[in-house]
Chains A and B, each alone.
Chain A
Amino acid sequence: MKQTIKLLLFTILLLMLAACGNNENDDSASETDNAKDTAAKAAGNDTTLQIAMKSEIDSLDPYQASATDTEIMMNNVFDGLFDSDENGELVPNLATDYEVSEDNLTYTFTLVDNAVFHNGESLTAEDVVYSYSKLAGLETGEPMSDKWAVVENVEATGEYEVEVTLKNVDSGFLARTIAAIVPADYEEQDTHPIGAGPFKFVEYKVSQELVLERNDDYYMEDKVPEVAEVHFAIMPDTQTAVLAMQSGEIDIIPGVGEQELAQLGEDVTTLSGPQNMPVIFGLNHEVEPLDDINVRKAINMAINKEEIMDTVMQGHATRIDSNFSPAMAFFYDDSVEGYYDYDIEAAKDLLAEAGYPEGFDLSMTVPSHATLYTDLAQIVADQLGQVGINLTLEPVEWSTWLEQVYTEFNYESTIIGLTGKIDPYDVLVRFVEGYSHNFINYNNSEYNEAIDNATLETDDNKRADYYKEAQRILTEDAASVFIMDPDSTIAMREGITGLSLYPIGKLNLEDITVAE
């Protein structure tokens, strides 16, 4: 008996130790409580929303972050000169207007004069100069990303006027102005981000939750959020999110799957549509026999996209025939629709013509972290089997995929969804010869030229024509099998309205209305 008591005492001791280990959090916890209280008092409406997110924040600093989930959350804290609307078209945010010089090299932006950062300081041209200089690496000589390398100079020409000079004509530059504007000389974005967006950062508990509160001083007065506070809970398992929604602890789940929707049943409202993510069955052109256009055409004809969409997405997807989603309507080329119809006999004939009447062996490197890819891979293998192509699946972990396929091009075929951007250049540059991640080893001078022309063309309609031409070339070349753009679905507790779907990672929380 004495022993049992000792054991018990020991465990109690351990328990006390565990409790002590956390005392440090005391202060920050009560601070947050205070913050919550003030937020609730300041506003007439004290609605708090709980939103489930799958992955944690990669960086709070808008210039360091690259994950889509982070973008979705932090987009609410930051505003750019322009923003994307539901159709991927630019709408003014911090800029009211802009002018382009005759030589298309100088952009002059006029800013709103009433924008205030969350730290209380007014947003002026100097902040834009600071932000863009940092992105373009004007001081360090190292731009933060290739996209910004084109900027030669940024200058404040007035308190609310900025002039940006480019090294060469780049029609995609304007789309980059959705980048966050941050306060000049503030260097603590990675711990306490400050922007001018509709929500203020309150706190981030690593891997647990991100808390934002309404910015009552938001410069777009008609867009001051109705919701007082937003909690993004990090939930790696969607099943948990669904159960939490059923118990009333979660209000919104962005990116919910078909199976989970069925489970949630009638009690939730949903918003669903294309997410601007072309999912492709990538074929490496450096590998025999995929270097033969007839073989690639045969593969395109052997794939039944409708069956894939019905099986994997229960029909909630949009068929694509080039590396472009119809979600970006203005630049989308609809002439490629149905270019390769599902036709097994024709596929077999083409294979025979190419010298493979009996088919051949092919391996597919599949990123194993998403069931979308592993499910897709199995159906594709089954469909190719019908024309004699024996597809072996090689599941690899995400980091391995990024290195072997995406960086070293050391693979035969793969399956991947490439998240879209609002600049068609970012979507289509992936197949330009010499681009560092042109992982299908595509090489077509006509295609490269079309992309170059589009970059240099500043007339929007003509630019769209070049991008459409590029999409057509990809399809005619059977560069890969472009399968679908899977729908993205947001599940919401009943009574929540106002959300829209965007072709970029964005959740417009400022527009949400919650019915009592």
Chain B
Amino acid sequence: MRFLVKKLVSFIATIFIVSLLIFFIFNILPGSPAQAILGVDADEQQVKLLEEELGLNEPLHLRYIHWIIGIAQGDLGVSYKYGQPVAEVLKDRIPISFSLAVIALILTVVIGIPLGILIAKTDGKWSSIILSMITQLGISTPSFWLGFILIMVFAVKFGLFPTYGFIPWSENLGEALKSVFLPSLAIAVGNIAIVIRYLKNSILDQTKEDYVRTAIVKGLGANEIMYNHVLRNALLPVLTVLGLITADTLGGSIIIENVFALPGLGSLLVTSIESRDFPLIQSLILIISLIIILANFTVDLLYKVIDPRIRV
């Protein structure tokens, strides 16, 4: 209980500081939202009307107060650029970023963890060295490049997947999975490589520990030692990394979203900054902070599941 209260207080404090920073930093930046939205083709009168409509004539501190009061009431405000409530703008985007992050996470876990164990088990053998080299390649491959290669091979050449766009899960499960599989894979490849490296090193470190020697002396089999004892300890650092990379993709993968023309949170953040859409920028940053805090919280809870000695 005390843990939860402590977390909640630190959560609110973080969000408050983030909101202050975001609000004032973006308002100091050069660039008027009205001019940014209208571009070079609009005349003075159009800009003036839009500024009035957006309420940009109000003093800065008042705008902040209004925004904060709105947030407290669950109202994220109205996007300047889209002219719709922010919640409405986010509604279609969140499932996209969420689907990408979850499928990328599943791919990372399902492929990364067994491979990491395999490489650790065969450490020193040729097969392990070759696999490690491939892993290295995975880390150093830029995801946008990989994205284009995947499109070229699987969408253009073989026609197995669509090249772009998102099909909602409610429309057709199979098609929806197809539409997010390639981008998720492009995100996952780098993550898989990271997980493999962490897991392999962590397993190798653990096998040097005294308890492993004890287990061997006790006469336990190699598999039993690996899965019941070593892995349990070795997974902890991997979990931390998994939490970080998942939070990262949940907040939107800007490059991959652009490559696959998926309108997720990442590309929305970029357009909102370009168009100085303050209500949208602020809400997005708030949501991303929230995601990171929640991901960390989940990792904390999972720690306890994997290693009951850890008190949370």
Contacts and interface: CB of A to CB of B under 8 A. Distances in A.
Does chain A bind chain B? Answer: yes
Contacts of A3: 232, 235, 305-306
B170 interface: yes
Interface in A111-168: 142-147, 149
A146 B159 contact: no
Contacts of A418: 40
B170 A29 contact: yes
A147 B36 CA distance: 20
Chain A, interface residues (CB within 8 Å), range: 35 or more
Contacts of B163: 240, 243-244, 247, 249
Contacts of B91: 24
A397 interface: yes
Contacts of B275: 399
Task: Please list the 9 inter-chain residue pairs (A to B) with the smallest Cβ-Cβ separation, ordered nearest first.
Answer: A399-B31, A207-B263, A399-B36, A19-B169, A244-B163, A146-B43, A436-B44, A235-B261, A247-B156
B157 to A, nearest CB: 8
B170 A403 contact: no
B92 to A, nearest CB: 6
A206 B163 CA distance: 19
Contacts of B171: 25, 29
A43 interface: no
Given A146-B45, A206-B92, A243 B36 contact: no
Nearest to B151: A243
Interface in B258-312: 258-261, 263, 267-268, 271, 274-276, 302, 305-306
A466 B31 CA distance: 36
Interface in A361-399: 369, 397-399
Given A237-B261, A243-B163, A407 B35 contact: yes
Contacts of B95: 18, 21-22
B37 interface: yes
A41 interface: no
A67 interface: yes
Contacts, number: 170
A59 interface: yes
Interface stretch (A7-15, A447-455, A456-464): A7-15
Interface string B211-252: 000000000000000010000100100000000000000000
Contacts of B151: 240, 243
Interface string B156-186: 1001001111101111010000000000000
B141 interface: no
A234 B263 contact: yes
Contacts of B38: 66
A61 B87 CA distance: 21
A234 B261 contact: yes
Given A11-B109, A233-B261, 7 more contacts: A17-B98, A29-B168, A207-B267, A239-B259, A249-B164, A397-B31, A402-B35
B46 A144 contact: yes
Interface string B28-44: 01111001111111111
A142 to B, nearest CB: 6
B30 A145 contact: no
B268 A207 contact: yes
B68 to A, nearest CB: 24
Given A3-B305, A11-B102, A146 B44 contact: yes
Given A397-B274, A398-B36, A404-B30, A7 B109 contact: yes
B180 to A, nearest CB: 10
B41 A18 contact: no
A246 B156 contact: yes
B156 A205 contact: no
A66 B148 contact: no
27 contacts: A14-B98, A17-B98, A18-B102, A19-B173, A22-B168, A25-B168, A58-B37, A143-B45, A144-B49, A207-B93, A208-B166, A208-B261, A233-B261, A237-B259, A240-B163, A240-B258, A240-B261, A243-B156, A246-B156, A247-B156, A249-B162, A399-B35, A400-B29, A400-B30, A402-B39, A403-B32, A437-B44
A15 B159 CA distance: 26
Interface string B57-80: 000000000000000000000000
Contact of B274 (A6, A15, A209, A399): A399
A195 to B, nearest CB: 19
Nearest to A417: B40
Contacts of A416: 40
Contacts of A17: 98
B109 A419 contact: no
B165 A67 contact: no
A406 interface: yes
Contact of B263 (A68, A208, A399, A419): A208
A277 to B, nearest CB: 11
B31 A233 contact: no
B41 A66 contact: yes
Contacts of B200: none
B41 A419 contact: yes
A26 B171 CA distance: 7
Interface string A171-213: 0000000000000000000100000000000000111110000
A397 B35 CA distance: 13
A59 B232 CA distance: 54
B81 interface: yes
A6 to B, nearest CB: 6
A58 to B, nearest CB: 7
Contacts of A407: 32, 35
Interface string B103-135: 101100100010000000000000000000000
Contacts of A237: 258-259, 261
B15 interface: no
Given A11-B102, A26-B170, A436-B43, A406 B92 contact: no
A399 B259 contact: no
A145 B235 contact: no
Contact of B40 (A11, A247, A402): A402
A26 B275 CA distance: 31
A437 B31 CA distance: 15
Contacts of B89: 206
A6 B301 CA distance: 12
A142 B46 CA distance: 10
B113 to A, nearest CB: 8
B227 A1 contact: yes
A493 to B, nearest CB: 14
A264 to B, nearest CB: 12
Contacts of A240: 151, 163-164, 258-261
Interface string A217-248: 00000000000000001111101100110110
Contacts of A208: 92, 165-166, 261, 263
Contact of A243 (B29, B44, B152): B152
A38 interface: no
Contacts of A4: 113
Contacts of A1: 227
B55 interface: no
A259 interface: no
Nearest to B158: A247
Contacts of B170: 19, 22-23, 25-26, 29
Given A26-B170, A419-B40, A236 B35 contact: no
A144 B29 CA distance: 28
